[in-house]
Amino acid sequence: MELMERQETWSITYNHALGETASYFYAKIRDEGAIYGKRCAKTNRVLVPPRSFSDETLLPTTDWVKVGPGGRIEAFTIVYEKFNNLPDPPYAFGYVLLDGADTALGGYFKGIDLKDPAAAAAKLKVGTRVKAKFAEKRTGAMLDFWFELA
């Protein structure tokens, strides 16, 4: 028998409240081109991106700490497959431990030739030093900055 299909698309808009902590973080990125983390007073760990409470101690974080722009690669991947709603491949991104931080922050890695996967992976290996770079025009968003080899 004939088997039919019906195409359905979900499209819903959300306006997520960011709260004071993330708002401060983005304002600093936009206005100063700087990345800030927040310290948990009990463990002394600096959480980047900043959270208003530590999920380990469940205590509110206290003081702001400017971190980076230097740091080291903690994890990376290089994507060669096209996914819907994601950029055209290839691209590299991952997590970087910025100087002064205790947790790693996500971002794109730019300025690396990705044609040869093994060679690119060797350049991005865990522990490699990188530096955060900021866009000239910043809107206060995660993509206002990226990482390049130091």
> Does 5 sit near other proteins (CB under 8 A)?
yes
Per-residue x/- mask for other proteins, residues 66 to 95, rule CB under 8 A?
Answer: --------xxxxxxxx-xxxxx---x-xxx
Q: What is the DSSP string of 94-106?
A: EEEEETT-SS-EE
d(CA 43, CA 41): 6
Other C-beta atoms lying within 10 Å of the C-beta of residue 123? 17
* Closest CB 133 distance from other proteins, rounded Å: 16
Q: Provide φ and ψ at 87, rounded to 5°.
A: -60, 165
Which spans of this chain sit near other proteins (rule: CB under 8 A)?
3, 5-6, 8, 10, 12-22, 26, 45, 47-49, 51-53, 55-56, 58, 74-81, 83-87, 91, 93-95, 97, 101-108, 117, 120-121, 125-127, 141-143
